Each structure stands twice: as structure tokens, then as C-alpha cells.
A = this chain, B = another copy of it.
């Protein structure tokens, strides 16, 4: 009759690392990076700010843990494609959608350099690059290009979101303003940017992201068979 497993029978509402991370993700999603404070978090968990420190060392660790929970779930949900290329695309799209649903992931990933969530992602990309048949000596460059590109897009999208949110305009309003600003640039100094003003307003983030992935995949292929 004695329960040998030492799973403690806690009150339903007991604090735990996982419950804290879950609440942190919710707070980050709903109020953005600036909205995650130990006071707001502890209020949501019906406790004091100090309680959280029993389970988590500091805010940095909390952010990395929240990021890792999302990344792990995202990578696990990415189905393998028919070809390595298709799998890379599925992985990239999965990451894009995760960063779109959780705009704080981009900057969290950058701050988590070298830690668990980045290793997960690096490994997933690396396995597919291997599967593509890229020779050893060029694997590093190939993974690095895909990796930095994905992080760059994530960071940029997150910044755009934050900017739009701060000024209480939606995606359309943000793109409209940015497009107008580009159109108003000095023709002599900014001819290229100016010419893309319209394209900026109408572009599709997701499709453009994938186009970039394909471009890099094309570069990888071109290197292998010159």
C-alpha cells in the first residue's frame, strides 16, 4: 500500500517550475517582453515575487526556459518531408509560425546563445544539412547560413511586432506607415528602398521567408555541384 514513487501529492495549485514557465509564456504572449515582470507573474500565480526564486534562479533563466519549451514543442511537431529539402522547409516554416505566434521568441533565442534551445535548433538544421549530402567541410557554412537567416528574420519580425504594438496600430497600419516613409525618401540617396515602397506594403512575410530559405538551399546546392 505504500507508494514507493516519491511523486509528492501536492495541492493542485502548488507552485512548480513548469507552472511558472507556463504562466510566463502566457504573459509574454499577451503583454510582450516588457510585460513579463516578477510582480505580474507572481500576481498571476497568486503568490509573492520571492516565491518564484525558489524554483528559478533569475529572469534570464526564466526566459531561456520559456523559449525552450516553445522550441522543443515546435521542433517535435515538425513533420519530416519527402526530401531533405522539404524537411528543411517544414522546419523553417515551423519556426516561422512559432515566432509569429510568440513574437518574443526571436529575441529570446538570440539572448539564449549557446544554451539548450539554440542547440536543439542547431541540431535539427544540421541533421537536415547532412541529409542533403553536403560534404563535411561545407556543413558548417551551410548550417550557419540557415541558422543566422532564421534568427535574423525572427528578430526582425519580433521588432516589427513590438513597434506596431507600442504604437497601437496593427500589421496593416505598421506596413502602411513604413511604406509611406519609404516612398517619401530622397530619390537621389535612397533609390532602391524607395522603389520597393509598394512591395513592402503588400508583401507576405511567410512566403518571403520561405523564398529566402530556398535561395540559401539553392546556394548550398550550387556549391556542391559547380
Instruction: Knowing A113-B163, A114-B178, A219-B216, say if A151 contacts B156 (CB, 8 Å).
Output: yes
A4 vs B105: C-alpha distance when bound (angstroms): 55
Binds B, one of A9-17, A20-28, A45-53, A184-192: A184-192
A218 at the interface (CB under 8 A from B): yes
- The oligomer's copy count stands at 2
B140 A192 Cβ-Cβ under 8 A? no
Which of B126, B144, B181, B203 sits near A114, CB closer than 8 Å?
B181
A86 at the interface (CB under 8 A from B): no
A159 B111 Cβ-Cβ under 8 A? yes
A152 at the interface (CB under 8 A from B): yes
A185 vs B94: C-alpha distance when bound (angstroms): 24
Number of interface residues of A (CB under 8 A): 57
What's the nearest-Cβ distance from chain B to residue A36, in Å?
17
A39 at the interface (CB under 8 A from B): no
Residues of A within 8 A of B (CB): 107, 110-114, 119, 122-123, 126-127, 129-130, 139-145, 147-153, 155-156, 158-160, 163, 178, 181-182, 185, 189-193, 196, 199, 203, 208, 211-212, 215-223
Selected A-B contacts with CB under 8 Å, 7 pairs: A113-B160, A114-B181, A123-B190, A127-B192, A139-B196, A145-B149, A149-B149
Rank and list the top 9 A-B pairs by shortest CB-CB distance, nearest first: A219-B219, A152-B152, A126-B192, A148-B152, A113-B159, A151-B152, A222-B222, A218-B219, A141-B211
